[in-house]
Copies of this chain bind each other. A is one copy, B any other.
Amino acid sequence: MRATKIAMKPEGRHEEKHFTAPDLIRDIVIGMSDGLTVPFALAAGLSGTVSNTNLVVVAGMAEIAAGAIAMGLGGYLAARTDREHYISELNRERQEVKEIPEQEKEEVADILREWHLPEETISSAVEAISKDSDRWLRFMMKYELGLEEPEPKRARNSSLTIGLSYIIGGIIPLSPYMFIRHSHTALIISVIVTLIALFIFGYVKGTFTGSKPVRSAWQTALVGGAAAGIAFFIAKLIS
Chain A residues close to B by CB (< 8 Å) = 1-10, 12-14, 17-18, 30-31, 33-34, 37-38, 40-42, 45-46, 49-50, 54-55, 57-59, 61-63, 65-67, 69-71, 73-75, 77-79, 81-82, 84-86, 88-89, 92, 96, 107, 110, 112, 115-118, 120-121, 124-125, 128-129, 131-132, 135, 139, 144-147, 162, 209-211, 216, 219, 222-223, 226-228, 230-232, 234-235, 238-239
Q: How close is A226's CB to chain B, nearest CB, in angstroms?
A: 6
Contact of A42 among B7, B59, B121 (CB under 8 A): B59
Q: How close is A95's CB to chain B, nearest CB, in angstroms?
A: 10
Are B234's CB and A85's CB within 8 A? no
Are A62's CB and B231's CB within 8 A? yes
Q: Which residues does chain B contribute within 8 Å of A12, judged by CB atoms?
A: 144-145
Are A61's CB and B238's CB within 8 A? yes
Q: How close is A192's CB to chain B, nearest CB, in angstroms?
A: 18
Are B69's CB and A41's CB within 8 A? yes
Are B37's CB and A227's CB within 8 A? no
Are B71's CB and A1's CB within 8 A? yes
Interface core residue of A62, A118, A235 (most chain B CB under 10 Å)? A62
Check A117/B124 contact, CB under 8 A, given A59-B45, A85-B210, A145-B9. yes
Report how many copies the assembly holds: 2
Are A13's CB and B63's CB within 8 A? no
Check A223/B116 contact, CB under 8 A, given A41-B62, A230-B66. no
Are A59's CB and B59's CB within 8 A? yes
Nearest 6 interchain pairs by C-beta: A45-B62, A1-B74, A41-B66, A2-B2, A62-B231, A69-B227
Are A65's CB and B85's CB within 8 A? no
Q: Which residues does chain B contribute within 8 Å of A92, judged by CB atoms?
A: 17-18
Nearest chain-B residue to A232 (Cβ)? B62
Q: How close is A47's CB to chain B, nearest CB, in angstroms?
A: 10
Q: Which residues does chain B contribute within 8 Å of A58, judged by CB atoms?
A: 45-46, 49, 235, 238-239
